[in-house]
Amino acid sequence: MSTPAPYLDPLNQAFADQLANQPPLQDLSVEQVRKLLDDLQKHTPNPNVTRTSFTVPFENGVKTYVFRPKGAKGILPVIFFFHGGGWTSGNTCRDLALQTGCAVVFPEYTLAPEARYPTQQEECYAVVKWVHKHGESKLLSQSVFSIVGDSAGGQLTGAVSILCSTRKPYIPIRYQVMISPVTDTITSDRDTKSEFDFFNGPFLTVPFMRKSVEDYIPNADDRVNELATLRNISVAHAKKQPPTLIINSAADPLRDDGILYGEILQRAGVDCTIITGHGQLHDSLIFEALRGSATPKAMVRLMATQIKNASENVGVEVTEIETEEEPSRKRRRRH
């Protein structure tokens, strides 16, 4: 299958040229892929943001980092950031902390293939649930939450949002951002146009994504669950999703995954914005070689503005709603 030569902006084109003579991702070992992704995100930490850590007591413990604007006092609104990398970003977390004034909570969930579905989403959900109950002990809000995730982390974002809206206790999410998300783990019969056009890249390839899915969810029957394939979300659950921003890259096999999920949310009545970065490769907001381009910088500013507005919004908040595990009376609180 031939790969077209899409338009890429200068930084993305230079990145693609640099990788052109390298083996495709699917030919690398798990260790080689992890090293590559780590190298692509190496950065000099911004001194205006502090980083601390603690461990959430779930299973074997989930190490969790907290990024805060330096000098910020008191309890801050929270952004949970779920990283990508094939279920296998530091400066993006720092950008969000500085541009929103929020604390960014970053769970270091167990990678695949060492752990399989649904371990990763359960660990991320456990961190959200812990902060919902104990966050003030770490100067974190226990109720003003947004969720952000890129690539595989975008899939975790959608799954955790579903869990927060359907399990007991109900955990309100003000806003979610999905960056180049994986929304379909069914690999056999639902190929999209972007998967066809960018089957062999540049950079992210369809064979690598299929290999990653098999590492993460080896049982094909599990992949039809809405928590694995977000595009299978029920109408009832779609209606419960928070306002959403979905950021896609034009030259990315996952582009249409994000668009199609966004359309599902829009049809369900969710306030969902779908944007696609022209001339961008997969995860251009995250990788250091790409994130300095004008388009990723504008996308980060948009993301930060939307989250900041949602975090500052005051009015009527639903603090208890009916969930599938246990009905409860709706109660509203003004603040």
**Mean pLDDT along residues 140-152:** 97
Predicted confidence at residue 313, as pLDDT, reads: 63
Predicted confidence at residue 331, as pLDDT, reads: 35
CA distance 48 to 322: 42
Report pLDDT digits (tens) over 268-287: 999 999 999 999 999 999 99
Two tokens, residue 239: 């209606």
Two tokens, residue 13: 């084109």
Predicted confidence at residue 4, as pLDDT, reads: 58
Predicted confidence at residue 188, as pLDDT, reads: 65
Reduce the DSSP state of residue 284 to 3 states and report it. Answer: coil
Token look-up 């951002």 returns 177
Report pLDDT digits (tens) over 153-162: 999 999 999 9
Domains and CATH numbers, the chain: 10-334 (3.40.50.1820)
Two tokens, residue 117: 């579905």
Task: Using the predicted structure, report yes or no on whether residue 262 has a pLDDT greater than 50.
Answer: yes
| Cβ pair 212, 112 in contact under 8 A | yes
Mean pLDDT of the chain: 90
**Mean pLDDT along residues 239-244:** 99
Reduce the DSSP state of residue 178 to 3 states and report it. Answer: strand
Reduce the DSSP state of residue 68 to 3 states and report it. Answer: strand
- Position 40 confidence tier, pLDDT thresholds 50, 70, 90: confident
Reduce the DSSP state of residue 133 to 3 states and report it. Answer: helix
Beta bridge partners of 63: 55
Which amino acid type is present at position 331?
R
Predicted confidence at residue 3, as pLDDT, reads: 53
| Cβ pair 244, 272 in contact under 8 A | yes
Percent with pLDDT over 70 in the chain: 89
Predicted confidence at residue 303, as pLDDT, reads: 98
Residue 130 gets which letter from DSSP? H
| Cβ pair 293, 9 in contact under 8 A | yes
CA distance 21 to 204: 14
Identify the residue with better confidence: 318 or 178.
178
The pTM of this model reads 0.91
Number of neighbours of residue 325 by Cβ within 10 angstroms: 11
Reduce the DSSP state of residue 201 to 3 states and report it. Answer: coil
Report pLDDT digits (tens) over 78-127: 999 999 864 445 578 999 999 999 999 999 999 999 999 999 999 999 99
Identify the residue with better confidence: 116 or 333.
116
**Among 303, 313, 314, 310, CA closest to 98:** 303
Identify the helix (H) or strand (E) that includes residue 64.
strand 62-69
Task: Using the predicted structure, report yes or no on whether residue 200 has a pLDDT greater than 80.
Answer: yes
Report pLDDT digits (tens) over 43-71: 778 899 999 999 999 999 999 999 999 99
Number of neighbours of residue 45 by Cβ within 10 angstroms: 12
CA distances from 284 to 9, 178, 280, 332 (A): 11, 13, 6, 40
Task: Using the predicted structure, report yes or no on whether residue 332 has a pLDDT greater than 90.
Answer: no
Predicted confidence at residue 319, as pLDDT, reads: 33
At a CB cut-off of 8 Å and minimum separation 6, what does 17 contact? Answer: none
CA distance 72 to 124: 25
**Among 74, 83, 90, 95, CA closest to 144:** 74
| Cβ pair 307, 80 in contact under 8 A | no
Identify the residue with better confidence: 4 or 205.
205
How many H-runs (helices) and E-runs (strands) does the chain carry? 10, 10
Identify the residue with better confidence: 219 or 316.
219
